[in-house]
C-alpha cells in the first residue's frame, strides 16, 4: 500500500483513539485525501447525527397509536382503521429490501434521508388536514415507503461517519437518542392531543420535520471520499461486480442472524399486547397507566445502556450479548406466565429493556460485520428487517390463537419456548462476527 494511503487510514481513526491530532496537509497528503475534515468538523457531524436521530424519533412517534385515536375521533369504523394500518404495515414490510438496495445505490444517503423526512412531513400534514379515506390511505403508504429508507440511511451515515471500528458505540448512541426522543415526544404529543385536539399531534409531527432536516444538513460525510466509504464494495476497485442480492442468501452468518431476529420478534412482539389484555381484564382501572409504564421503562433502559452495549460488543464480541438478549426474553416470557400484579409486570419489563438495547445495537452491527466490503450493507439490513417484520406479524396472530384455545399461561410459556429456541440457534450456529482488525 502506498505511504499516502497509510497516512489517510490513520486520519480516519482520529475520532476513535490517540491519533485524533494527526493532520494531513496539501504538501504531505496525496490527491484525494485533502478533503478530509478536521477533527472538530467530525465531532460536529457526530453531534448533528445525535440530533437528527432524536428529532426523527419525535417525527415517527406521531404515526404510532395516535393514528388510531385520531381516526376513531373522526368517526372512522374500526374496519377502515384496521385496513389502513394493515396496508401500511404490508408496504413497510415489502419495502425493506428495496429500501436498503436504494440506499446502497445512491451516492448520498443524506439526500435520500432528507427526501424521506420531507415525505413523512407531507404525510403527517395530509392526515391532519384531509382525514378522508383516500388521502389517509395515500398518507400511510407514503409514510411506510419513506420509513423503509430511513433505517438503512441512518446506518449508512453512521458507518461512513465513524468507520467500522467505532460503529458499535455509534449505534448505541443512536439508540439512546432515539429512545429519548420517542419518550419525550410521546408525552408532548399526548399532552397536545389532550389539551388542544387529536389533529394537533400531526401538525406537531409535520413541524418537527423542519429541525430534523436542519440537523441532517449539519452532517458532513465527505461524499465520494474512498477512504471514508468503508461500506463500498472492495470489488469495485478491481472492476468486479458487487455481490448480487442472491449472494446474500449464500452468506451463512447473515442467514443465521436473520433467522435469529425472526425468532426473537416471533417471541417478543405479542408479549406486551397480550399482557395488556390480561391487565385490562383483571385491573381495568390501572390498565392504561400500567401499560404506559411498561412502555416507558424499557425506553429508559435502552437510553441508559445502549452506548455501554456498543462498547461491550467490541470488548466481548457480539455472541455473548445476543445470548444475553435471548435469555432475558425467555425469562420474561416465563415470568409473564405467572405474574399479574401491575407493579411486578412493570419490573419484569426491565428485561424487555435489556433485550431491546442489545438487539437495537446488534441488528445493524452484525449486518455490517458479515457484509463488510460487499457493498450490500443496506440491502442486507433490508433482508434482516424483513425477517423481523415477518416474525412480529406472525407473533400476534399466533399468540391470539393460542390464548383463545390454550389460555394465557400456556401462551406465555410457548413464547418463552420460542425465545429459548432462538437462544439455542445463537449458541450453536451463530458465529462470532466481531472483526479481528477494525
Domain boundaries, the chain: 1-36, 37-222, 245-429
Nine-digit cell string for 435: 472483526
What pLDDT shows up at residue 283? 59
- Render the burial of 177-188: b for 16+ CB within 10 Å, e for the rest: bbbbbbbebbee
What pLDDT shows up at residue 228? 40
Q: Place domain 245-429 in its CATH homologous superfamily.
A: MFS general substrate transporter like domains (1.20.1250.20)
What pLDDT shows up at residue 245? 60
Size of the chain, expressed as the number of residues it contains: 438
CATH of 37-222, one of 1.10.260.40, 1.20.1250.20, 1.25.40.10, 1.10.10.10: 1.20.1250.20
Tell me the C-alpha distance between 163 and 139, whole Å.
Answer: 36
What pLDDT shows up at residue 118? 96
What pLDDT shows up at residue 288? 58
Summarize pLDDT for 136-156 with one digit per residue, the tens. Answer: 999 989 998 999 899 889 988
What pLDDT shows up at residue 285? 59
Tell me the three state secondary structure of residue 114: helix
Q: Cβ distance 341 to 393 under 8 Å?
A: no
Low-confidence ranges of the chain (pLDDT < 50): 1-38, 224-241
Summarize pLDDT for 198-248 with one digit per residue, the tens. Answer: 788 889 889 999 999 999 999 987 554 433 444 444 444 444 445 556 677
Distances (CA, A) of 341 to 252, 274, 282, 300, 352: 43, 14, 9, 21, 17
What pLDDT shows up at residue 398? 86
pTM of the full predicted structure?
0.72
Distances (CA, A) of 73 to 76, 125, 364: 7, 17, 38
What pLDDT shows up at residue 237? 41
Nine-digit cell string for 331: 425469562
Tell me the three state secondary structure of residue 410: helix
Torsion of CA 414, 367, 50, 64, to 10 degrees: -40
* Centroid of chain to Cα 254: 17
Q: Kindly state the DSSP code that residue 234 receives in the 8-state scheme.
A: G
Q: Cβ distance 385 to 96 under 8 Å?
A: yes
What pLDDT shows up at residue 416? 95
Amino acid at each position: 500500500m502506498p505511504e499516502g494511503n497509510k497516512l489517510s487510514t490513520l486520519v480516519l481513526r482520529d475520532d476513535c483513539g490517540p491519533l485524533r491530532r494527526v493532520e494531513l496537509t496539501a504538501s504531505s497528503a496525496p490527491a484525494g485525501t485533502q478533503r478530509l475534515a478536521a477533527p472538530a468538523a467530525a465531532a460536529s457531524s457526530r453531534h448533528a447525527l445525535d440530533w437528527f436521530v432524536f428529532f426523527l424519533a419525535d417525527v415517527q412517534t406521531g404515526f404510532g397509536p395516535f393514528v388510531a385515536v385520531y381516526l376513531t375521533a373522526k368517526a372512522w369504523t374500526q374496519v377502515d382503521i384496521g385496513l389502513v394500518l394493515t396496508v401500511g404495515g404490508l408496504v413497510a414490510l415489502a419495502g425493506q429490501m428495496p429500501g436498503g438496495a436504494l440506499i446502497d445505490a445512491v451516492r448520498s444517503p443524506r439526500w435520500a434521508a432528507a427526501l424521506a423526512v420531507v415525505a413523512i412531513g407531507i404525510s403527517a400534514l395530509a392526515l391532519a388536514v384531509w382525514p378522508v379515506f383516500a388521502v389517509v390511505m395515500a398518507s400511510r403508504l407514503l409514510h411506510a415507503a419513506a420509513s423503509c429508507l430511513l433505517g438503512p440511511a441512518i446506518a449508512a451515515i453512521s458507518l461512513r461517519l465513524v468507520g467500522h471500528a467505532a460503529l458499535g458505540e455509534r449505534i448505541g448512541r443512536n439508540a439512546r437518542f432515539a429512545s429519548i426522543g420517542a419518550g419525550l415526544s410521546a408525552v408532548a404529543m399526548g399532552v397536545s392531543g389532550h389539551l388542544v385536539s387529536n389533529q394537533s399531534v400531526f401538525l406537531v409531527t409535520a413541524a418537527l420535520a423542519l429541525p430534523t432536516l436542519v440537523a441532517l444538513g449539519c452532517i458532513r460525510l465527505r461524499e465520494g471520499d474512498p477512504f471514508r466509504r468503508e461500506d463500498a464494495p472492495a470489488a469495485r476497485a478491481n472492476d468486479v461486480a458487487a455481490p448480487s442480492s442472491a449472494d446474500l442468501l449464500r452468506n451463512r452468518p447473515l442467514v443465521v442472524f436473520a433467522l435469529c431476529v425472526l425468532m426473537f420478534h416471533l417471541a417478543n412482539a405479542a408479549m406486551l399486547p397480550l399482557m395488556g389484555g390480561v391487565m385490562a381484564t383483571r385491573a381495568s382501572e390501572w390498565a392504561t397507566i400500567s401499560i404506559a409504564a411498561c412502555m416507558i421503562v424499557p425506553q429508559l433502559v435502552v437510553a441508559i445502556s445502549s452506548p455501554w452495549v456498543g462498547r461491550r460488543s467490541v470488548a466481548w464480541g457480539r455472541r455473548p450479548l445476543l445470548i444475553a438478549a435471548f435469555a432475558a426474553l425467555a425469562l420474561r416470557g416465563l415470568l409473564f406466565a405467572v405474574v399479574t400484579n401491575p407493579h411486578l409486570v412493570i419490573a419484569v419489563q426491565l428485561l424487555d429493556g435489556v433485550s431491546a438495547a442489545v438487539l437495537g445495537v446488534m441488528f445493524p452491527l452484525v449486518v455490517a460485520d458479515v457484509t463488510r466490503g460487499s457493498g450490500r450493507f443496506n440491502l442486507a439490513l433490508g433482508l434482516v428487517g424483513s425477517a423481523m417484520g415477518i416474525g412480529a406479524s406472525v407473533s400476534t396472530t399466533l399468540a391470539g390463537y393460542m390464548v383463545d384455545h390454550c389460555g394465557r399461561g400456556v401462551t406465555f410459556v410457548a413464547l418463552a419456548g420460542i425465545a429459548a429456541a432462538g437462544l439455542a440457534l445463537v449458541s450453536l450456529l451463530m458465529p462470532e462476527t466481531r472483526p479481528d482488525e477494525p
